Amino acid sequence: MATFPEEIAKWRVDRAQRQIADRVNQITSEYRQVVRERDQAIAENDLETAESRDMDCQQLENEYAQYVPQTPQIDPRLAQFGQQNRQFLERHGVAGYQALDAAHQYMMRPRRSDTNNPAYTGMGWNPKAVFTPAYFERMKDLLEMHGEEYFGVKYDRSEESLTPNEAAKISGLSADAYNNAARRVYGGRRR
């Protein structure tokens, strides 16, 4: 049974949560109204009012973000790479993730002709090419060649999990036939 101070603490937490939920609802309603006013002012070419309403929109967006923080979305290509390399990541844990991050940092740093120190030079990888098949191939190359020496992690490509398409190809089935068979094996569950 909770003590009186514990009951008061719980009551305060519940009250604070209700107040936050109410404020989030108010912000949502106010935001819709301010957006309408801003858009109307733009349509009427009243740029001064539009600018003022847009500043109000930004203030409401910032306040909303304080109450409802947004979780960043993981790029599906990166998630697939993590899934394929699950054994490596499970075996090495934090050190595996740190090695991946260090390899990424090295790939992104500009090339320098005045030093050979990998802490100061890099591959000069184009940021637009991040998470492409070529990017992941270079990442694997770096981990295979330098993972043990620099990070104490051993990366072995033979431990990679197959993608569904690779498994279908090996099995001699079409991707649809393979996926249908996999659903039957797993009882129709979707992952």
Domain-by-domain residue ranges, the chain?
4-67, 76-160
Give 55-107 pLDDT, tens digit per residue.
Answer: 999 999 999 999 888 777 888 999 999 999 999 999 999 999 999 999 999 99
Per-residue pLDDT at 189:
52
Nearest C-alpha neighbor of 120 from the set 135, 140, 105 = 105
Percent of the chain with pLDDT over 90: 59
Looking at residues 160-167, what average pLDDT do you find? 79
| pLDDT band with cut points at 50, 70 and 90 for residue 26 | very high
Distances (CA, A) of 49 to 34, 45, 136, 191: 11, 9, 49, 49
Q: What is the mean pLDDT of the chain?
A: 89
| pTM of the entire predicted model | 0.55
Structure-block tokens of residue 89: 């990541």
Give 94-143 pLDDT, tens digit per residue.
Answer: 999 999 999 999 999 999 889 888 778 889 999 999 999 999 999 999 99
Inform me whether the pLDDT recorded for 1 exceeds 80.
Answer: no
Q: Helix 47-67 and helix 4-43: axis angle, to 10°?
A: 160
| pLDDT band with cut points at 50, 70 and 90 for residue 2 | confident
User: Which residue did the predictor score with more confidence, 129 or 1?
Assistant: 129
CA distance 116 to 99: 19
Per-residue pLDDT at 188:
52
Inform me whether the pLDDT recorded for 25 exceeds 80.
Answer: yes
* Residue whose token pair is 């909303």: 64
Inform me whether the pLDDT recorded for 165 exceeds 80.
Answer: no
